Structure 1
Amino acid sequence: MFPITYFIIGATILVSLKGFNDPSFFEKFKFNVSAVKYGQQYRLFSSGFLHADFFHLFFNMFSFWSFSPILLANFETRNILLIYFGSMMLGSLFMYYFHKNEPYYSAIGASGAVSGIIYSAVLLEPNIRLLVFFIPMPGYVFAVLYLAYSIFGMKGRFDNIGHTAHFGGALGGLVLTLLIKPELLYQNPLFIAVMSIPIIVLFVMVKLKKI
């Protein structure tokens, strides 16, 4: 039996290919603030299966495939689905919250869901060694830097990357994994505390209206 991750990757590829070749389909299912506000909440979910181009699709699905074995070794299928789609939804909700006054704001991609999978994997194995731009680093260091960069991108808006979805998805992966395996709170408290620093910083900045 194929792991559930293969079905997610297959479904995402099929929907993305449809979007590449059918502009009306793409427009109907992408995330858009105005459309969501006026009743099309399905876009919070459907946009996670669309991508801008083949590189965008490959990068997200390759990242998902790379980290998914850690979840497969630790969780049942239902928990993996919960983390993937829960992170996707939280990423979309973060986008809506932070851009609700920008009626033309649109976004696509599985980045929120994939960020949740990455953070879940890092939480399960915080000392996993990653090679980031040819620099080796522990997983928990990558997690902190990733969220810090997302906050920087949300504040600066200097590129077209959906940093808000990344942040929301990562938070979803962190929280959902702890809900499923609360014993991690006792096994890896230091790593969790370190990974939570950017989350606390974000909420302080929001409270102070700095972002």
Structure 2
Amino acid sequence: MDQLSVFPATLTLIAINVAASIYGWLNQKFLLANLFHIEPIREKNEYHRLITSGFLHGGVFHLLINMFVLFQFGRFIEYQLGTLSFLFVYFAALLGGNLWALLENFRAPDYRALGASGATSGMILSFCLFQPFAMLLFFIIPMPAIVFGILFIGISTVLAQRENRIIGHEAHLGGAIAGLIATIVVAPRSLSIFSDQVARVLGGG
């Protein structure tokens, strides 16, 4: 109960993701009506998919990975920004990731995707602003968050250009950038926090 009172948005988003994903696995019609699908977005103006697809997942492992990232980073961001600002950043990242994917795949009507990866990518980059030298794992390699963030954006940019990709790296890229910008918008102090920490490390202070 203490966690719920301190991080209500993070835990509520996790609960919604879990419930919607399980319902989607049990109800194919619901899943197909709400996943990210270029053709109905483009031809039928089903723009709700830009949001609803971010609460659906392709399987248990996909769901667990995204919810683990949201739990780990979302609590920190919600504590730093407050609940309303945290929600703004989360949905900005979710929407930004899917809008980027829409632009990248606009001429591919059969393109489909789902998952909270765009939103969770935004959480990671938002965290990097506040804790640039916290150690994160890139696969199994520990590195400072600032290095992780740069690699994340760089690799997502490269992989998004590949054809026949299974993972929607363009949504990761768009979500990461949108989350970064949204954090700066609601908390301009994050730039000072970031620059002060970088200056201290570079200056040896």
TM-score, length-scaled by structure 1: 0.86
Q: Unmatched 5+ residue regions in structure 2?
A: 199-205
> Separation in 1 of the partners of 2:40 and 2:164?
25
1:169 and 2:178 matched:
no
> Separation in 1 of the partners of 2:80 and 2:148?
21
RMSD: 1.6
Check conservation: 1:70, 1:124, Cα contact below 8 A: no
Q: 1:107 is aligned with what amino acid?
A: A
> Separation in 2 of the partners of 1:65 and 1:187?
23
Shift of the alpha carbon at 1:128?
1.0
* Structure 1 counterpart of 2:11: 6
Of residues 154, 159, 164 in structure 2, which corresponds to 1:153? 159
* Fraction of identical pairs, as percent: 34
Q: 1:158 to 1:28 in 2, by over 3 A?
A: closer
1:22 and 2:27 matched:
yes
Shift of the alpha carbon at 1:177?
0.7
1:1-211 alignment, distance < 5 Å: 2=4, 3=7, 4-37=9-42, 38-157=44-163, 159-189=165-195
Q: 2:137 is aligned with what amino acid?
A: L
Shift of the alpha carbon at 1:134?
2.3
> Separation in 2 of the partners of 1:67 and 1:187?
17
> Separation in 2 of the partners of 1:184 and 1:62?
24
Check conservation: 2:93, 2:119, Cα contact below 8 A: yes
Check conservation: 2:81, 2:187, Cα contact below 8 A: no
Query: How many residues end up aligned between the 2 structures?
Result: 192
> Separation in 2 of the partners of 1:132 and 1:97?
28
> Separation in 2 of the partners of 1:158 and 1:123?
33
> Separation in 2 of the partners of 1:185 and 1:71?
14
Q: 1:85 is aligned with what amino acid?
A: F
Tell me the secondary structure at the aligned position of residue 155 of structure 1. coil
Shift of the alpha carbon at 1:191?
8.4
Shift of the alpha carbon at 1:36?
0.7
Tell me the secondary structure at the aligned position of residue 137 of structure 1. strand
